[in-house]
Every structure is written in structure tokens, then in C-alpha cells.
């Protein structure tokens, strides 16, 4: 579903070049929940941004849903970020002046859903994350855990091929962390492909697989799934035909 081939991203030039990601190969099968760990500065966020089309590699390839995405033009990349990827960030990044429901609706509207369909999807998702009674609240009136649950609902509204989460529990206390992990567990059971960057071992322990990075490279790759319901190449049921969906999502042929 997601693949990095010889992926590199450098910053700067000459002697001061930083290899944020260094010739990294990684394959994330459809339906897998992957945790990416490693010390600060090892390249985790950079990798996630390359996977989601938020940044471009210096070298190598990124594949999403069977398509190479690192060469896409700006418009196609913007469409891909909107339709095929759901982002969840440590700092939530909700729109302060929009209600919880409006925050969830927005990416659906931007992707072309009718207002009515967007409202219905947002209501369903807020129900799924247990926030129906907070739908009309502004983010400022929500707790951190509630804000992150709104952000997760927002990430899911366009049924992305992959959810990418960077330190999703980094700003949360342990009760709120627990709520978010419960949601991720539901996503995993539903076959959602999910890549999450985390420092928290409890969070990593909920994944099917944990990779750790050092200096832009993979240092370790451990499969945690117990085999229940998985065919050996990632846990959970698959979304049928997910790997052929990207072209359709983006309005491309063949
Ligand atoms: N825009 C940038 N310009 C220059 N260097 C950068 C830039 N973004 C990241 N870097 C460098 O690239 C390396 C990887 O950064 P990255 O943010 O991916 O690390 P990280 O593993 O996410 O760290 P943390 O756990 O602290 O979030 C670091 O050395 C960082 O200083
Ligand atoms: Mg980071």
C-alpha cells in the first residue's frame, strides 16, 4: 500500500548536508498498522511527510496504492493529500473558528462532497469517536483528547487509503491516550492502513509492526502481530481492491 524505495531527503548542501532520510526501503502492506520509533531527529516526521506527499524526496521513490507519487505535480499532490491520505498531528491542527463537526466536514467539502453528504459523514464519524454531544463545540471548548478524536474523524472523512499520524498522543494525558489508542485499534480491526510515529512504547505496542529509525535509516523491524486474523502480510481484513483505488480517487485513468 505504501512503499519507499531508496528514499532519501537531505537538507542543506556540502559539508552541512543533513540526511534526514537516507536510502530507506520500507514496504507497508494494506491493512498493516505500523509504528515508527527512534530518537529525536532520526527522520521520522520527514519520512511521514514524504509518504503523505507533504514533502518531496531528494532521491528514491514513494509509492502509494500502487502508484508512484513522488513525481506528481503540485495539483495532483494536493488532490492526493486531500483524498487518499488522512493526517493526524501532535498539535491537532484544527481550525479554531470552526466547530468540531465543521472541522470534520471541511475536507469532505473540499473533495467535492455535497454539504448534505459531508454533514452526514461528519455526524457518523463524530459518533464513531464518541463526540456526538460535542459536535457544535469549537476546539477551544474541547479537551486535548477530544480535539484529537475530532482530528482523527477529520482524517477519516474521505476514506483515505492510509492514515499517517505523527506523535498522535504526544500532547495527551494517559486517559486521552487510551481513548485515541482504542480508536486506532478499531481502525486496525477495520483494515485501515495506518502509520504512526511515536515515542510512547504503549502506543507502539498496539501496532502490528514496529520499525525504529537511526540517522535516517531503519535500525530495526519487528512484527508484533500475533497472527490472529492475518495472512502473514499484515493484520486485519483488507479493504477490497484498495491498491487499485488511487487512480479512481484522483480521477486518473487505468
Ligand atoms: N526544514 C528543515 N531544514 C533543515 N533540516 C531539517 C528540516 N526538517 C528536518 N530537518 C532535520 O532533519 C532531521 C530529521 O528531522 P525529523 O523532523 O524528521 O526528525 P524526527 O525523527 O521527527 O524528530 P522528533 O522526534 O524530534 O520529532 C533532523 O536532523 C532535523 O534537524
Ligand atoms: Mg518528528
Full DSSP string of 174-222 = HHHHHHHHHHHHHHHHTT-EEEEE-S-HHHHTTSSEEEEEETTEEEEEE
Distances (CA, A) of 194 to 2, 46, 97, 155, 212: 10, 16, 29, 11, 16
**The dihedral formed by the CA atoms of 125, 131, 135 and 140, expressed in degrees to the nearest 10:** -120
Of the bound ligands, which one is closest to the alpha carbon of residue 36? 1
Cα(137) to centroid(ligand 1), Å: 34
What is the CB neighbour count within 10 angstroms for residue 33? 27
What is the CB neighbour count within 10 angstroms for residue 23? 14
Going by C-alpha positions, the residue among 158, 162, 167, 204 that lies closest to residue 51 is 162
- The residue count of the chain comes to 254
Angle CA 240–169–105, to nearest 5: 55
Going by C-alpha positions, the residue among 156, 137, 133 that lies closest to residue 98 is 137
Going by C-alpha positions, the residue among 223, 198, 148, 219 that lies closest to residue 45 is 198
Question: How far apart are the C-alpha atoms of 39 and 45, rounded to whole Å?
Answer: 11
User: Closest Cα to atom 13, ligand 1: which residue?
Assistant: 20
For residue 128, what is the enclosing H or E element? helix 115-128
Give the position, in ligand 1's atom list, of the atom nearest the Cα of 38.
21
Of the bound ligands, which one is closest to the alpha carbon of residue 200? 1
What are the pLDDT tens digits along the chain (254 aa)? 999 999 999 999 888 999 999 999 999 999 999 999 999 999 999 999 999 999 999 999 999 999 999 999 999 999 999 999 999 999 999 999 999 999 999 999 999 999 999 999 999 999 999 999 999 999 999 999 999 999 999 999 999 999 999 999 999 999 999 999 999 999 999 999 999 999 988 899 999 999 999 999 999 999 986 544 443 444 444 444 444 566 666 665 43
pTM for this model (two decimals): 0.90
Q: Which of 41, 49, 52, 219 to mutate to test the pocket of ligand 1 (most atoms within 8 A of CB)?
A: 41
Who lines ligand 1 at CB under 6 A?
11, 18, 20, 38, 40-46
Q: What cell numbers appear for 246 in the block?
A: 488511487
Cα(113) to centroid(ligand 2), Å: 32
Question: How far apart are the C-alpha atoms of 124 and 65, rounded to whole Å?
Answer: 26
Amino acid at each position: 500500500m505504501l512503499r519507499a524505495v531508496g528514499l532519501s531527503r537531505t537538507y542543506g548542501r556540502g559539508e552541512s548536508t543533513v540526511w534526514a532520510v537516507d536510502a530507506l526501503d520500507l514496504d507497508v502492506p494494506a491493512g498493516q498498522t505500523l509504528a515508527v520509533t527512534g530518537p529525536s531527529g532520526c527522520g521520522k516526521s520527514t519520512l511521514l511527510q514524504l509518504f503523505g506527499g507533504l514533502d518531496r524526496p531528494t532521491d528514491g521513490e514513494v509509492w502509494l496504492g500502487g502508484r508512484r507519487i513522488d513525481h506528481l505535480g503540485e495539483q495532483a499532490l494536493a488532490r492526493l493529500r486531500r483524498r487518499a491520505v488522512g493526517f493526524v498531528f501532535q498539535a491537532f491542527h484544527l481550525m479554531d473558528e470552526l466547530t468540531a463537526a465543521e472541522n470534520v466536514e471541511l475536507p469532505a467539502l473540499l473533495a467535492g462532497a455535497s454539504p448534505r453528504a459531508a454533514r452526514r459523514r461528519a455526524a457518523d464519524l463524530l459518533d464513531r469517536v464518541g463526540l456526538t454531544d460535542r459536535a457544535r463545540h469549537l476546539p477551544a471548548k474541547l479537551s486535548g483528547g477530544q480535539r484529537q478524536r475530532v482530528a482523527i474523524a477529520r482524517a477519516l472523512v474521505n476514506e483515505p487509503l492510509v492514515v499517517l499520524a505523527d506523535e498522535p498522543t504526544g500532547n495527551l494525558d494517559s486517559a486521552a491516550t487510551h481513548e485515541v489508542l482504542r480508536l486506532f485499534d478499531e481502525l486496525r480491526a477495520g483494515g485501515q492502513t495506518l502509520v504512526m510515529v511515536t515515542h510512547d512504547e504503549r502506543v507502539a505496542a498496539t501496532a502490528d509492526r514496529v520499525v525504529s529509525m537511526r540517522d535516517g535509516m531503519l535500525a530495526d523491524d519487528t512484527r508484533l502481530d500475533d497472527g490472529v486474523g492475518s495472512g502473514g502480510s499484515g493484520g486485519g481484513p483488507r479493504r477490497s481492491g484498495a491498491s487499485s483505488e488511487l487512480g479512481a480517487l484522483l480521477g486518473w485513468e487505468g
